[in-house]
Structures are given as structure tokens and as C-alpha cells.
Structure 1
């Protein structure tokens, strides 16, 4: 039987890949993001795959927006089985160079937006006999890196929030809370990030595909787990951060400048922190080569690419 899935951040990166993955499973979707035009494109992709999909333009930082999103889902489908929060923004810059308004908005989107999603979803699940909440974290919720202070602070806060919610959910039968923790992923978030550092950011190697993260999200919907890590060196990074903090701090700056930044100079800008950029939204960010389509690959509208 198909599930009813609410998905924020559905127009780009992991969120858009997850929308396609759920659609491929036959689930009914309520898609949310800031850009109405791109959101309509994603809805059309899902409908072409043979599922019902509703597009609800939503800014997770707006008061009441997530309540309205839930109301739209209930009006269309009558209930919600899974709520996935994928909406996120990013900013590069030394902490003292990052405008406070940019820092605050990243935290508002990545942490408080996730908290508001969780609040709305969990209240619904408690009233209607259960459901699964899946929040998208980051390996930067377990370790730190320079020049990304707002994102790091948000993801550390999100990990703490999820742990508390998991503890509270023990008192609510049928409610499950999962955290999916990717490392570097080939999405457009790096190009779309605010930048006050002067060099374009990039995902450090090794880089996972958003489709791989999306499969982990759907697996959590099928069989909820407390936390799923997606990334070949995530656990190694976490071990080094905890066991060898002095060595980690000595190496992380040079490695970030070498592997986490490109040589491309950029002028200071706010990226998509405050407003979306529909022309930059896609599943993939172009950091990995695309493989040719293989015989027998998916015949869904988007094929096996991004």
C-alpha cells in the first residue's frame, strides 16, 4: 500500500532525488520548496512516474508555513505517514566576516526550520497513531570545519534535537524519528551557498551521489533507524575528531582549503539564503562525472541520471 509522504526541500539535491525515489516506489507525495516553478516541474516528474503528487510552495522559515503544508496534505490525502525534512542552505566565510543576517538565516532554515517541521509532523503522528519523521543532517553535525560556522552550528544543533526527539518518542507508540547523515554529496548546494570567503566552495572527496542518500532516506521510511551515515569516510572523520582533536584541528584547515574550496574567485553574495535561484536547482551539482545509461536502467521519466 502506498504511503503519504511530505517532503521539504524537494526542488534540488537530496530532496529532489528523494522525491524521485519515493515516486518510483509508488508513494503519494506532498512536495514543498520555495520556488513554485521548479516545484511544479518536480511534481510533473512524479506524476509522470504514475503517482499522485501535490506541490505546495513553502518557505520553512515563514510563520505558519509548515502548518499550512500539513493542512494541504491532510486535505488532499487525509493523513501523513512519513515526513522528510531536507530543506537547507549554506554559507561560506570566516565567522567574523559572515554578515549576522546571513548567519542567522542559515540557522533559521537549517535548524529552526527542521524543528518546526518536526513539531508539526510529531503532533500529527501523535494524534493519528504514528508515523516516521526523517531529518537530513550532515557529517558536519559530528565534526567541524572552518569557514562554515553557520551550517556546522545548525547541524550540531539538529543532531542534538533529533536525539531528544528520539528519547521523547519512546513515550508515543508508533512514532519513529530518524537522522540521515551524509558526507560530501554531488548537489548544487555548494554553488548556491552564500559566499563571503572569496573562493567557491565544493564537496571534498569522496563524494556520494544524491541518489545514494535518497535511497537511505527511503530505507529509513521502510525500516526506521536512529541514524544512517552515508559516506565512506564519515566514521573515520568522527573517530579522528574525537580521539585526536589536536591532530584533527591541525589538518582540517589545510584540507578544507585544498579539498573543500575551488580556485574560482567569487564576489561576496547571499546565494540562496534568502531567495531561491530556480535556474540553479537540480538533482546533481556536477561535481561527479555522469555515467552512460546502462541497458535495463530505470525507465522512469528521469532515467538513471540526475
Structure 2
């Protein structure tokens, strides 16, 4: 029976690399807001001999996530793997100048949506499934207030879930990717020499191998 892997934030960067790395062994359920990028990913997965189900959805939309998870249950009954790559990257700003909209979207996308998804996805993973979260240790650094605080909160949720499921499953993993030339990082570091950064394809394979996936 083909394994299933849900990739939230699958359209670009590490999310797309994770989807492609898993495609030879898993049916990919690819979630992202950008339909065109998902279709490009689907083409690449098909070229590699894999198959995907595209879900152009916003993870902060509760009704959409309910529909997604119910659809996974109705079609497969369970889920083998969840890789959570979706992130809202608010513009860098001094702590006293963070826009209300930027903070609200950061909390909704990075914290509230993650908590909701854990609630919905945990039953699909059961005792044998696995989940992967991606840390970005920038909390407390200058100008990273909105992104850093909400990313840290997201990882705190993942760590709690990880500690709670040691004996019961699913297995919850937290990885810290090396810096990569992603669109998110380019917004934060526009003048950076991208040649010195790590290939997302290599990082995806390294992280999956680290957890025996």
C-alpha cells in the first residue's frame, strides 16, 4: 500500500524539495496558497514517476483544513507523514513598529493554524505516523519580532506534542535546516550571497535521512 505524506507549504523552497524527495515512496498531498506553483510541483513529481494530490488552500482557513483532513480520511483512512513547512514571514521591523496586520497574520498562520492542524492531523497519524517541524532559531534577534516570536511559539507547540507522544506516538521530529536560498530568506536578507547557502534538495534529503524517513 502506498504511503501518504502531507506537505503544508509545499509550493516552493524546502516544502517543494520535501515533496520531491518523498515522491518515490509516498503519495504527496501538497498544500499551499499558490495554485500555479503547486501545478509546477505536480509536473515535477509526475516526471519523477510519483503522484500528488494538490490542495490550493490557506492553512489559516479552519474550514479548508477541516475539508482537507476529512478528504484524507475518506480517501486513505490515515496519514503516514506530515511535514509542516508553511510559514508566514512578516517583514522585518523594530519591535515598536510591527504593524498590527503583520502580527495578526503571523499569529494566525504560524501559531493558531499549527495548533489547529495538530488537532486535526493527530488522529490521521495515529500511533505509527510521523510529523516533522522546522525550527528557525531567530527569536530575539533584532527586527525579527513578529516572525521570530511566532516561529518560536510554533516550535514550542511542536515540542509539547513531541514530549506528550513519546510513549504513545505519533513520532514528532523537529529539525533545524541550514540556511537556504529560499524566497522567504531573500526577503529577510536581500543582499546576501546566495551562492554560500545550502541547496533545499540536499537539506530535504538530509533531514528525512536524519529521522529515518
Q: 1:202 to 1:64 in 2, by over 3 A?
A: farther
- For the Cα contact (< 8 Å) 2:9–2:84, is it kept in 1? yes
- Which position in structure 1 is the counterpart of 2:59? 60
> What is the distance in 2 between the residues matched to 1:201 and 1:167?
39
CA RMSD of aligned residues (A): 2.4
The question of 1:184 aligning with 2:179 is answered yes
Q: Which residue is 2:117 aligned to?
A: 117
Q: Post-superposition shift, 1:43?
A: 1.5
Q: Does 1:215 align with 2:210?
A: no
Deviation per CA, 1:99-152, whole angstroms, max 9, x where unpaired?
1111221222122222222222212223xx431011122122xx5311111111
Q: Is the 8 A contact 1:135 1:178 kept in 2?
A: yes
1:53–1:132 CA distance, 2 compared to 1 (3 A): same
Q: Is the 8 A contact 2:78 2:125 kept in 1?
A: no
Match of 1:81 in 2: 80
CA contact (8 A) 1:134 1:217 kept: no
Closer/same/farther in 2, CA of residues 48 and 123 from structure 1, 3 Å limit: same
Higher-Rg member (1/2)? 1
Q: 1:241-264: CA deviations, max 9, x gaps?
A: xxxxxxxxxxxxxxxxxxxxxxxx
Contact 2:137/2:152 (8 A) holds in 1? no
1:14–1:214 Cα contact (<8 Å) kept: yes
8 Å CA contact 1:6, 1:73 repeated in 2: no
Summarize the Cα distance change of 1:69–1:179 in structure 2 as closer, same or farther, 3 Å threshold: same
Q: 2:130 corresponds to which residue?
A: 132
How far, CA to CA, are the matches of 1:9 and 1:21 in structure 2?
Answer: 15
Counterpart Cα distance in 1 of 2:11 and 2:112: 20
Q: Secondary structure at the match of 2:11?
A: coil
The Cα of 1:202 is off from its aligned counterpart by 4.7
Runs of 4+ in 1 over 4 A off after TM superposition: 199-206
Give distance in 1, aligned partners of 2:49 and 2:8: 21
How many residues were matched structurally? 212
Displacement after TM superposition at 1:60 (Å): 0.7
Q: Distance in 1 between matches of 2:133 and 2:116?
A: 12
Partners of 2:210 and 2:170 lie apart in 1 by 13
The normalised TM-score by structure 1 is 0.63
Bigger fraction of residues in helix: 2
Unaligned 5+ runs, structure 1: 194-198, 224-306
Deviations 1:18-46 (A, max 9, x none): 111111x3311100000122212211211
Q: Does 1:3 align with 2:36?
A: no
Do 2:2 and 2:27's aligned partners in 1 also have CA atoms closer than 8 Å? yes
Alignment of 1:7-26 (within 5 A): 7-23=7-23, 25-26=24-25
- Structure 1 residues 203 and 8, CA, compared in 2 at 3 Å: closer, same or farther? farther
Q: Distance in 2 between the 1:107 and 1:215 partners?
A: 29
- Output the CA distance in 1 between the equivalents of 2:80 and 2:55: 17
Q: TM-score, normalised by structure 2?
A: 0.87
Q: Deviations over 1:200-224 (max 9, x none)?
A: 475899632212321134225635x
Q: Report what 2:38 is aligned to.
A: 39
